[in-house]
A = this chain, B = another copy of it.
Amino acid sequence: MKEQEHILVIGAGLCGSLLALRLAQRGYKVSLVEKRPDLRSTDISAGRSINLAFSDRGIKAMNLVGLKGKAKDLCIPMHGRMIHNLEQEEYLSRYSGLESEYINSISRSDLNALLLDEAEKMPDVNILFNQACIDVDLQNAKATFEDFTSKEKSTIEADIILGTDGAGSVVRKSMLEDNLFLFSFSQDYLSHGYKELTIPATKDGGFRIEKNALHIWPRGENMVIALPNLDGSFTVTLFLSYEEGEDNFKSLDTSEKVKAYFEKMYPSAVAHMPTLTEDFFNNPTSPLGTVKCSPWNSFGKVMLLGDAAHAIVPFYGQGMNASFEDVVVFDEILDNYEGDWQKVFKEYQKKRKVDTDAIAELAIDNFHEMKEHTAAPIFQKKRKLETAFEQEFPKEYASKYRLVTFQEDISYSEALKKGRAQDKAILNLLAQDKIDENASLQEKLHLVNKETQEILEEDAVLKTN
């Protein structure tokens, strides 16, 4: 860097706070501006995404900024999916054949607070709260903000602006509305919405159900999941159709109906949910959307990262991990091209977009897998086989889930390609009864790998010819 450059980061959520910290570590002057109040002094998380799944890609980013240890202190390990069927039985489907591989439940606000604390310690970081971005001058890297209380407007001019203002990004909106370049954009909603509910801690602060698991009650069209919190409670999420099917968000309009629905469909969950109907009517119903856009930068002056560039549905537990990985990739690109923002932005998107598109697709796939397939016999057979492969041959086999979640050195797009081919191979071999029960595990693995390779080669012909 010749002179110290000034970067304006709009949005101090998880991605923006991490990014601001990293940029300050690299020597930039950073202004980090947030619409909401400081979450370290105000409770603003009520009813939405209280905890998150945190895994290896996210951990890699925390390691980059030197906070891996502090982040780990906030984590509750979850070793697998605890599946609860309608007969009130439960069984654990492990995420990996390896003991050392698990995902974590982490509080969104605790993690955000940690990042803000660390960013604030940097001398060249200035954090402003309660400042809503209302306009971005894309060509001149200038943004206007309105103070929440005084309604006074102020303008910040920087060398570049990075927009990390989430799925509803104002920075992105200004790109969409600018007519000086072609801007591809999509917002896609599922027919389902979600609502957060609670399983409280026991009186002595204990966990009412297994602590170290992500609980799922898959019910075909809809499902309930629960993730543990450090205080002994679980944050429960109901994924339910807005309007379709017998029971849906529109039809469940009285406490009686909500209670009856849960008692019919989720008896083993409702037993632990004393505040079910209050939660149901107090907490918002939120949509499940995927947002994509391109290009991520305008005029080499303003660029989007995190959910602002690629919001995804939560079913792979990768939303925050993907946003954190953005910062890691951006940092690598800076290592190579620092000094030429136009080039940095272009190379970043070239490397990154294929992967954020891939995780968006994987997340939607997993929605169907979680609510339908986790309970299907052929899927359970597949998982059992994959878990055995991973236990016996951890270096020779990694399931799609393991590739996505625990192999942070493999890109999402590679994980998608290989993972899907493996899934198809195993399901076809099982459906066609081609896996000899008496064969050794090694022979089975060989068969699966051979079939996978054939699928990959056959798919490639369509693309390269």
Question: Are A182 and B287 in contact (CB-based, < 8 A)?
Answer: yes
Interface flag for A431 (CB, 8 Å): yes
Interface flag for A378 (CB, 8 Å): yes
In the assembled complex, the Cα of A249 lies from the Cα of B246 at a distance in Å of: 55
In the assembled complex, the Cα of A188 lies from the Cα of B292 at a distance in Å of: 10
Interface flag for A373 (CB, 8 Å): yes
- Chain A 370-386 interface 0/1 with B at a Cβ cutoff of 8 Å (1 = within): 00010010110000000
Q: Which B residues are CB-close (under 8 A) to A188?
A: 184, 186
Q: How many residues of A contact B (CB 8 A)?
A: 27
Q: Which B residues are CB-close (under 8 A) to A458?
A: 424, 428
- Chain A 390-420 interface 0/1 with B at a Cβ cutoff of 8 Å (1 = within): 0000000000000000000000000000001
Given known contacts A184-B186, A424-B462, what 10 new A-B pairs fall within 8 Å (CB)? A182-B287, A183-B189, A184-B189, A185-B185, A185-B187, A186-B292, A378-B465, A420-B462, A424-B458, A431-B465
- Chain A 189-225 interface 0/1 with B at a Cβ cutoff of 8 Å (1 = within): 1000000000000000000000000000000000000
In the assembled complex, the Cα of A461 lies from the Cα of B429 at a distance in Å of: 10
Q: Which B residues are CB-close (under 8 A) to A276?
A: none
Question: Are A427 and B376 in contact (CB-based, < 8 A)?
Answer: no
In the assembled complex, the Cα of A242 lies from the Cα of B420 at a distance in Å of: 34
Question: Are B189 and A187 in contact (CB-based, < 8 A)?
Answer: no
Q: Answer whether A462 and B189 are a contact pair too, CB < 8 Å, given A182-B287, A287-B182.
A: no
Q: Which of A373, A423, A461, A462 has the most CB of B within 10 A?
A: A461
With CB as the reference atom, state the residue of chain B lying closest to A372: B465
Task: Give the oligomeric copy count.
Answer: 2
Q: Which B residues are CB-close (under 8 A) to A183?
A: 187, 189
Of B186, B242, B420, B424, which is within 8 A of A461 by CB?
Answer: B424
In the assembled complex, the Cα of A289 lies from the Cα of B184 at a distance in Å of: 9
Q: Which B residues are CB-close (under 8 A) to A287?
A: 182
Question: Are B189 and A186 in contact (CB-based, < 8 A)?
Answer: no
Question: Are A465 and B424 in contact (CB-based, < 8 A)?
Answer: no
Question: Are A379 and B186 in contact (CB-based, < 8 A)?
Answer: no
Question: Are B186 and A182 in contact (CB-based, < 8 A)?
Answer: no
Interface residues of A in 156-200 (CB under 8 A from B): 182-189
Question: Are B427 and A462 in contact (CB-based, < 8 A)?
Answer: yes
Of B186, B378, B431, which is within 8 A of A186 by CB?
Answer: B186
In the assembled complex, the Cα of A427 lies from the Cα of B462 at a distance in Å of: 7
Question: Are A465 and B189 in contact (CB-based, < 8 A)?
Answer: no
In the assembled complex, the Cα of A458 lies from the Cα of B189 at a distance in Å of: 29
Q: Which B residues are CB-close (under 8 A) to A459?
A: 424
Q: Which B residues are CB-close (under 8 A) to A424?
A: 458-459, 461-462
Question: Are A187 and B184 in contact (CB-based, < 8 A)?
Answer: yes
With CB as the reference atom, state the residue of chain B lying closest to A427: B461
With CB as the reference atom, state the residue of chain B lying closest to A290: B184
In the assembled complex, the Cα of A96 lies from the Cα of B33 at a distance in Å of: 61
| Closest-CB distance, A397 to chain B (whole angstroms) | 19
Of B186, B376, B378, B465, which is within 8 A of A185 by CB?
Answer: B186
With CB as the reference atom, state the residue of chain B lying closest to A451: B458
With CB as the reference atom, state the residue of chain B lying closest to A191: B182
With CB as the reference atom, state the residue of chain B lying closest to A193: B182
Q: Which B residues are CB-close (under 8 A) to A187?
A: 183-186
In the assembled complex, the Cα of A189 lies from the Cα of B294 at a distance in Å of: 9
Question: Are A373 and B184 in contact (CB-based, < 8 A)?
Answer: no
With CB as the reference atom, state the residue of chain B lying closest to A455: B458
**What are 11 contact pairs spanning A and B, CB under 8 A?**
A182-B289, A184-B189, A185-B186, A185-B187, A186-B188, A186-B292, A420-B462, A424-B459, A427-B461, A428-B458, A428-B461
In the assembled complex, the Cα of A347 lies from the Cα of B376 at a distance in Å of: 30
Q: Which B residues are CB-close (under 8 A) to A182?
A: 189, 242, 287, 289
Interface residues of A in 424-439 (CB under 8 A from B): 424, 427-428, 431
Q: Answer whether A465 and B184 are a contact pair too, CB < 8 Å, given A424-B458, A428-B458, A458-B424.
A: no
